[in-house]
Amino acid sequence: MSITPFSMNALRVVQVEDAVYTLGRSSSDGALHLLVRGNSATFHGERWDDALICPLDAENARALQERLPWLKPQPLGSRLSFGFGDRIGLATPGHIDALRNTDPAGRIAPIFAQQSVRENERLHRTPEEVMTAAIWSLFAEDWRLPWGADADHVKEPEHVAPFVAAGYTFFTIDPSDYVDNAAQTNDLTVLRMKCEALPWDVLETTYFSLYENYRDHTIALDGETLHFDEETLLRSLAKYGRALAHTVRIAATLRAAFGGTPFDLEMSVDETDAPTSAHEHFFIANELLRRNIPLVSLAPRFVGKFQKGVDYMGDPAEFEAELTHHVAVMRYFHRYKLSVHTGSDKFSIYPILARRAGDSVHIKTAGTSYLEALRVAAVRAPNLFRQMLETGRAHYEKDKKTYFLDCRPERVPPASSLADADLPALLDQFDARQLLHVTFGSILTTHGAALRTLLTKYPDDYRSALRRHFARHLQPFVEM
């Protein structure tokens, strides 16, 4: 690139030891650069005057992390936390605004770099690209409090390496493919056969040993007790035994990769057919913890429907009653927190979660930030929004296959039938919201460049939309 003569508008200036780091926008083309004066070893770019002008790429982000340690994610343990998904790479400033405005005391620990293996595949992004986008935003916003990075929905051991290489500190293991949902209703004969066939070498125990550990034991929880008879144990073991073994395999891969360095691990069984019972929750947690798995959160399958982009679907009173059992199990172990997946926009149950689980909760969001970007498009670029809606319509049947949805696409009006002023309201309509949510891969693959250009042109619109939207998510957990 040619940058002589060069001038830029400084957005952030940080001086540490023998160097000054300036993030600024070029006066000529509006592009962002990092300007390093002083010790510029390990950075790359083009020399200008007494400084090095550096592109905002992964290599320079890594170099800046080494100089400014607050830009490195770290394990957050069992403290209250919130996962901010960013499918576009431009949402972190708005997330930070929401935290600073809603939670100035810093009670909630944020996870900024968060993307699942499935999301990366659909968006053609890498873990490093997600991390890099977060680092530059954190530097620009001068965020210096602890934060985490979540390798979400890791399903196989081979998924681990790219996230470890990119510096992630939190790994959400999703063994749902190994959960035997049929065990919910199998008779005892079938359950015994299934348990006999489990990978006992990986579990490093025997059924007899497990039976001795659980049978006739009464477990005193806060305000209630659990008792495992043989049927309860068989059903729990048949349903989750292979999922436990798979989690043990991935945890071993992580331990080898980290070589003794701490990391956070979550086990997620939320994407299963039936709700997780209190007995099953206890069994899963007990078996993970007694194997010294560094469990910091567990995502059970709660009662009711947790669907993409919309509020909780179910009876809040029933949810609260069942949540009380899960909280009692969690507090028995006092080692981890409850994780709520598909946690965005569940406004009706946030007060319940805050009241019952207190600080021992993790809320995970993903696509709701992307939907707020579409809201900006609906206002600022109606024709682009119409194109994105029609792309979502065309790809819905294919893209919905990995989700549980009640969306009725026939209820979404064609974009051509709506006036410009009516388009933003689609982001509040149940069916349109779900259709747009789950077709994110198709929409961003086709229109992502145009949408990023728009958001870069109107950054304050996106920031303010995210600030308002996430204040509603965060406020109940700050007020408790």
Q: Which of 73, 28, 13, 21 is nearest to 43 (CA)?
A: 21
SS3 of residue 217 by DSSP: coil
Q: Which of 432, 342, 308 is nearest to 378 (CA)?
A: 432
Q: Which of 244, 233, 238 is nearest to 268 (CA)?
A: 244
Q: Side-chain half-sphere of 184: how many Cα atoms within 13 Å? A: 10
Q: Which of 285, 317, 288 is nearest to 304 (CA)?
A: 317
Report strand pairing: 337-340 vs 224-227: unpaired
Q: Which of 259, 357, 245, 212 is nearest to 299 (CA)?
A: 357
| Euclidean distance between CA atoms 276 and 258, whole angstroms | 31
- Of 103, 119, 150, 152, the active-site residue reads 152
Query: Alpha helix (H) ranges present in 149-268?
Result: 160-165, 188-196, 200-203, 207-214, 230-258
231 is catalytic: no
Task: Calculate the alpha carbon distances from 378 to 121, 161, 408, 428 in Å.
Answer: 26, 39, 21, 12
Contact 462, 373 (CB under 8 A): yes
In the block, which residue shows the tokens 């040619």? 2
Cα 260 to chain center, whole Å?
A: 24
Task: Calculate the alpha carbon distances from 439 to 178, 357, 452, 480 in Å.
Answer: 26, 33, 17, 35
Contact 478, 415 (CB under 8 A): no
* Torsion sign across C-alpha atoms 133, 337, 247, 236: negative
| Euclidean distance between CA atoms 344 and 178, whole angstroms | 26
345 is catalytic: no
- Of 86, 180, 264, 266, the active-site residue reads 266
| Cβ partners under 8 Å of residue 164, min gap 6 | 254, 257, 258
The catalytic residue positions are 152, 266
